Amino acid sequence: MTRRVLQLSVNGRAHELMVEPRRTLADVLREDLELTGTHLGCEHGVCGACTVLLDGLAVRSCLMLAVQAAGTEVMTIEGLERDGEMHPLQEAFRDSHSFQCGFCTPGFVMTVLALLDEGRDLSEVELREELSGNLCRCTGYQSIVEGVQLAAERMAAGR
């Protein structure tokens, strides 16, 4: 199958790749760019583990062809740290024990990053609704909700 040139920016770095059109953005991130922090669970849009930011919006990277990301700015979990320091959201997740096995964590973090960026004041019910697109099989979600709430508090105080 004919490969196509793909130019995109990932975590602030420009890339030019040759990709087969049938390959998903998730696979190109993981295999070609070796950014394996983006996890693949179900590979058909149900589990949310592969969530990344595409021009600032949370999207399922398993439900996009990589060629469709041409010209966009993609952010993955690897793009969060600054000079060796974790993002406040990552710190809040650590402090709240918001993960156990950690497989779903990158998807949750990217989903929540976009959510907090909207700056909306969410009740716990609304927050749980927003998190419902990401599946976690370990925590029972309570510690994830607490981690998000802690991050929201800290980030609001820091502003």
Partner 1 sequence: MKPPPFEYHAVGSVEEAVGLLAEHGDEAKVLAGGQSLVPLLALRLARPAHLVDINGVSELASFANGDALRVGCLVRQRVAERAGAVGVANPLLVRALGLIGHTAIRNRGTIGGSIAHADPAAELPTVLVALDGEVEATSRRGPRTVAASELFRGFLTTSLAPDELLTGVRFPPWLAGTGWSFQEFSRRSGDFAIAGVAVTVRLDTNGVATDVRIALSGMGPTPVRASSAEAALVGQPPSEAAWNAASQEAVAGLDPPSDVHGSAAYRRHLAGVMTRRALREAHERAEVRS
Q: Interface with partner 1 by CB under 8 A: which residues?
A: 1-2, 4, 20-24, 27, 43-45, 48, 51, 54, 57-60, 62-65, 67-68, 111, 114-115, 129-130, 132-133
Nearer to partner 1, 72 or 98 (CB): 72
Nearer to partner 1, 94 or 120 (CB): 120
Nearer to partner 1, 91 or 138 (CB): 138
What angle do helix axes 105-117 and 124-131 make, rounded to 10 degrees? Answer: 130
Question: Nearest distance from residue 152's CB to partner 1, in Å?
Answer: 16
Question: Nearest distance from residue 21's CB to partner 1, in Å?
Answer: 3
Nearer to partner 1, 58 or 89 (CB): 58
- Cβ within 8 Å of residue 132, ≥6 positions away: none
Question: Nearest distance from residue 103's CB to partner 1, in Å?
Answer: 16
Which residues in 16-33 are b (16+ Cβ under 10 Å) and which e? ebebeeebbbbbbbbeeb
Question: Nearest distance from residue 15's CB to partner 1, in Å?
Answer: 18
Nearer to partner 1, 35 or 131 (CB): 131
Look at strands 4-10 and 73-75 and give their pairing: parallel
Strand arrangement of the beta sheet that strand 51-54 belongs to: 13-19, 4-10, 73-75, 51-54, 57-60
Question: Nearest distance from residue 28's CB to partner 1, in Å?
Answer: 12
Place of tokens 């969530």: 51
Closest CA to 129 of 138, 120, 137: 120
